[in-house]
Amino acid sequence: MSARLRTLRTYLRRTRPRRLRRALAALLALFLTACAALVLAYRLTEIPEPHPETVSQSTVFVDAEGEYLGRRGPVDRQDIPLEQVPRHVQNAVIAAENRSFRTDSGVAPTAILRAALATVTGGERQGGSTITQQYVKNALLTPEQSLKRKAHEALIAVKLDRTRSKDEILEGYLNTVYFGRGAAGIESAARNYFGVGAGDLTVSQGAALAAIVNLPSYYERAGADAKVTGTLERRWVWVLDAMADSGAITDRQRASARFPAFRFYPPGDTDGQRQYLIDAASAEAADRLGITEDQLARGGYKVHTTFDLGLQDATAELVRDRTPANSKGARLHTAVVATVPGDGAVRVLYGGADYAHQPFNDAVDGAVEAGTATEPFMFKGIRLGDPLSDLQKDPAPTPMRLNSAYATLAAKGRYAKPYTVTKITRGGTTVHTTHAKTRTAMHEKEAAVINELMHVSLAEGAAVKPVEVTSRPLISHSAGAGSGPGTRTVWHSVYSPRLALTVALFAERGGKPARVAGLTGTYPPDQHAALEATEVWRLAGSPGAQSEAVAVPVPTRTAP
């Protein structure tokens, strides 16, 4: 070995401690600099406000029994408090997306490793991001993909975890995460997949929604696509097993769980009828809250309406089946209104065959030539109060207005203003409750006189005499403008203290009024209207309705 090499080795041996100290000092300086930069970045990081797309909500409309009617708004999303989400649903989402959520710091390296391992081994896919990170990504940041963006996301997640409670973060996540089928948030997802509110989700349904979050655009076809359904069921089993392992559900709950049935997707087209109902309820709800309809649509409200959706749909089907094809270029219009006498709640509002082709609501806004339909309110000596006093001067009332008049007779002279909204809620809190607005429009004795005179008139010109069923008088009245080949319009009203129903027939050709005569197929116009009214009455389906329907007379002639 040369002398130079021995000298170098000796030098290196002697200076090793010093070099190690320098290297350690450099590493420490680098580490401290990185820590300082991280602390500074953390301090400078601000939690941004949710971007507009995640703040915007839709307003949902339901019928009198809570059945989903439709929605208005830019996105299908409604915020609800976490306490309205069942604990088993919360736990299902945590089991599927981030099992360490309750204890992690907003970011979880173990979750990333677990997700990577699952990908390599072919196991069930799990998110590498925590629920907190997903919430930050979905609600607070843009969908940009970069290392800088991921670092920013992690910093916000950590800060969010240190400044907000886990429940606040979970609530925000559940209200913004996308579930497919156009539904953002757990409330909309529950409605779109199972037809219930989030608060009514079962263990099985909650686990299914939690399983969907992983690949919503794929799993949204569950129930309609056998392959998708089978794949989702396997993931559903995995979620339930994870819940059972963590003690989130009992062994008994796990054993009794059954894969749930889904609402069909894509859903059927309901715009043909239900938009008429939503139009009416939307205008009324906005007016009651003192806001615009656009503000209502974006406000995340739940509008509880008075409509009987089952009866409405059955009425629409009945009218569609009974309406003959257009003849000689003329179009037959049918309007149907049913309200509760003495209260004003609107149960049926059939305003047209198809909203997409005719957004104008015949039942609410259509002016139909009255003819003899208002004659019962013109009997000699009858004094009408507001708002019926002007009815005598109105040659073409709307079906809604005339129905209200006959409902007043059924309520012994007590007029009730028609309404379509019972209450409005937001985030589970009631913000408006409707109270019936009634007033005396005629003396009770005068209402009794009119009803008696109509009984007598009806008995003279009807095939069946009216009777009293279960101590409730039922009156059916056919009227209109013109008769025989000259029949222009037909009205048929049926009422009892239980319900007031009005059917109106009119026609148009080229946008101008036309005769109804010749457009009603097998039956003359008056009998056509009477049969429709009778069948709708029978469809009402409450106790005694079947018996009452038998008493509805079918006129043998149109009122002159």
**Looking at residue 52, what is its pLDDT?**
73
Residues in the chain: 560
Residue 142 is assigned to a structural domain of this protein: yes
Would you give the DSSP letter of residue 480?
Answer: E
**Looking at residue 151, what is its pLDDT?**
74
Q: How far apart are CA 380 and CA 435, in angstroms?
A: 34
Q: How far apart are CA 83 and CA 444, in angstroms?
A: 50
Whether residue 76 contacts residue 196, with contact meaning beta carbons closer than 8 Å, is answered with no
422, two tokens: 């019972």
pLDDT, one tens digit per residue, over 388-425 is: 988 878 899 999 999 999 999 999 999 999 999 999 99
**Looking at residue 542, what is its pLDDT?**
46
Asked if residue 326 has pLDDT above 60, the reply is yes
Portion of the chain with pLDDT greater than 90, in percent: 54
pLDDT, one tens digit per residue, over 26-47 is: 676 666 665 565 565 556 566 6
Give yes or no: residues 107 and 237 share one domain.
yes
Residue 508 is assigned to a structural domain of this protein: yes
Tell me the β-bridge partners of 476. Answer: 494
Whether residue 293 contacts residue 286, with contact meaning beta carbons closer than 8 Å, is answered with yes
Calculate mean pLDDT across residues 332-354: 95
Give yes or no: residues 232 and 346 share one domain.
no
Give yes or no: residues 251 and 315 share one domain.
no
The identity of residue 218, as a single letter, is Y
Asked if residue 349 has pLDDT above 50, the reply is yes
**Looking at residue 549, what is its pLDDT?**
40
Residue 351 is assigned to a structural domain of this protein: yes
3-state secondary structure of 478: strand
- Using only the alpha carbons of the chain, give its radius of gyration: 34
Q: Tell me whether residue 196 is exposed, middle or buried, using C-beta atoms within 10 angstroms of its C-beta: 0 to 12, 13 to 18, 19 or more.
A: middle
Q: Helices 203-212 and 226-246 meet at what angle, rounded to 10?
A: 110
Give yes or no: residues 380 and 445 share one domain.
yes
Asked if residue 5 has pLDDT above 90, the reply is no
71, two tokens: 């929605």
Cis peptide before 395 (omega within 30 of 0): no
Residue 408 is assigned to a structural domain of this protein: yes
Give yes or no: residues 220 and 331 share one domain.
no
Residue 427 is assigned to a structural domain of this protein: no
Q: Tell me whether residue 144 is exposed, middle or buried, using C-beta atoms within 10 angstroms of its C-beta: 0 to 12, 13 to 18, 19 or more.
A: exposed
pLDDT, one tens digit per residue, over 510-530 is: 888 999 998 998 899 999 999
State the pLDDT confidence band at 137, using cuts at 50, 70 and 90. Answer: confident
User: Which CATH number characterizes residue 187's domain?
Assistant: 1.10.3810.10
pLDDT, one tens digit per residue, over 60-96 is: 999 999 988 999 988 899 999 999 999 999 999 999 9
Query: Which of 268, 278, 356, 363 has its CA nearest to residue 315?
Result: 363
Would you give the DSSP letter of residue 137?
Answer: I
Asked if residue 6 has pLDDT above 90, the reply is no
Residue 25 is assigned to a structural domain of this protein: no
Asked if residue 473 has pLDDT above 70, the reply is no
Give yes or no: residues 247 and 132 share one domain.
yes
143, two tokens: 């969908």
pLDDT mean across residues, the chain: 84
Give yes or no: residues 502 and 374 share one domain.
yes
507, two tokens: 């026609």
Give yes or no: residues 491 and 404 share one domain.
yes
End position of a domain, from candidates 235, 256, 277: 256
Strands 76-77, 489-495: pairing kind: unpaired
State the pLDDT confidence band at 59, using cuts at 50, 70 and 90. Answer: very high
State the pLDDT confidence band at 108, using cuts at 50, 70 and 90. Answer: confident
User: Which CATH number characterizes residue 511's domain?
Assistant: 3.40.710.10
End position of a domain, from candidates 194, 223, 256: 256
Give yes or no: residues 128 and 234 share one domain.
yes
Asked if residue 467 has pLDDT above 70, the reply is no
Q: How many CA atoms lie within 13 A of 411 on its CB side?
A: 24
**Looking at residue 28, what is its pLDDT?**
67
Calculate mean pLDDT across residues 212-233: 93
**Looking at residue 42, what is its pLDDT?**
57
**Looking at residue 357, what is its pLDDT?**
83
Would you give the DSSP letter of residue 486?
Answer: G
Q: Tell me whether residue 408 is exposed, middle or buried, using C-beta atoms within 10 angstroms of its C-beta: 0 to 12, 13 to 18, 19 or more.
A: buried
Whether residue 159 contacts residue 45, with contact meaning beta carbons closer than 8 Å, is answered with yes
Domain extent at residue 449: 307-419+437-550
Residue 265 is assigned to a structural domain of this protein: no
Cα dihedral 88, 209, 238, 90, rounded to 10, equals -30
Give yes or no: residues 545 and 476 share one domain.
yes
Give yes or no: residues 231 and 317 share one domain.
no
Give the Å distances, CA to CA, from 444 to 66, 194, 409, 415, 456: 35, 48, 9, 11, 19
Q: How far apart are CA 142 and CA 165, in angstroms?
A: 23
Q: How far apart are CA 293 and CA 526, in angstroms?
A: 39
Residue 58 is assigned to a structural domain of this protein: no
Give yes or no: residues 385 and 463 share one domain.
yes
Name the domain count of the chain: 2
